[in-house]
A and B are shown apart, each in its own frame.
Chain A
């Protein structure tokens, strides 16, 4: 059983898109998946309840004192729990980081995204020190446009800041935007390939339990 937290203090960085990809693909693979939506915009909750074609348990919870007990209870009955946080560093974000096996920090191609990604990674380091255990965290580039000056620049800035970054990049593709309306996570084409690679990397980081994969 594992817990994946998606966090960055920047709004609109792609947190909910990333959550949809993970939840949708793992649900398609037959895993029991649940999500805690700790974002006041409840975009993920709305997507699961109205658009999603996948079997996903969703709980919208803003109260930081309830995050950990809720994750614990979902954790007991599901293979993977994904926590989607608000686009701000809040108490709920800290506890969501504390629960995680893997923290993913989405970052689009803008300077504000990098600044907030650095702040979030520092927050994860602080949480890690206080809990006396390593929290695996990776930056995932979203809204990526290959072969552009801005993408090259962003990658060099991330390297300069020495942020650990995933090899897979989530490109700015129509299929990902369509997902918010159709509720279907892409399985084919470039979008499908990026999803598959993304999930493989999360699995390698320990974000997807082996036993659950075997059972599915």
Chain B
């Protein structure tokens, strides 16, 4: 292998470099039309999979004291007990989705 030649560096390495990201400063093109800001408030919309998969119920029994602790911890986390338990199970690897954590209770009037 021969002596280093800076003149040929760009030519020799162009193919390899083209596979890499550039860090050349990007000159932003002027926006043709300003995009209007979204006006509607964000709303969580349950995805169809809930209806498709169906929701089942099952009962869970535990000591009274544990039930109290669960209620307190969920309240501290500003979550329903259901969401609190699902969230904990999510951390253990259960494939819980965001819409699984929605509070399904009817709002009190």
Contacts and interface: CB of A to CB of B under 8 A. Distances in A.
A3 to B, nearest CB: 8
Given A63-B25, A90-B23, A134 B9 contact: no
B13 A130 contact: yes
B3 A95 contact: no
B25 A93 contact: no
A155 interface: no
B76 interface: no
Interface residues of A, number: 31
Contact of B3 (A63, A65, A94, A133): A133
Interface in A74-100: 75, 86, 88-95, 97-99
A126 B17 CA distance: 11
B10 A68 contact: yes
B2 A132 contact: yes
A127 B13 contact: yes
A126 B16 contact: yes
B52 interface: no
A92 B12 contact: no
Contacts of A130: 12-13, 15-16
A99 B8 CA distance: 10
Contacts of A62: 23-25
Tell me what chain A mostly uses at the interface: helix, strand, loop, or mixed.
Answer: helix
Contacts of B9: 68, 95, 98-99, 131
Contacts of A86: 23
A71 interface: yes
A181 interface: no
Interface string B28-39: 000000000000
B16 A132 contact: no
Interface of A: 38, 40, 62-65, 68, 71-72, 75, 86, 88-95, 97-99, 101, 126-128, 130-134
25 contacts: A62-B23, A63-B24, A63-B25, A65-B10, A71-B6, A72-B6, A88-B23, A91-B18, A91-B20, A92-B23, A95-B10, A95-B13, A97-B13, A98-B9, A98-B13, A99-B9, A126-B16, A127-B13, A127-B16, A130-B12, A130-B16, A131-B4, A131-B8, A132-B12, A133-B1
Interface of B: 1-4, 6, 8-10, 12-13, 15-18, 20-25
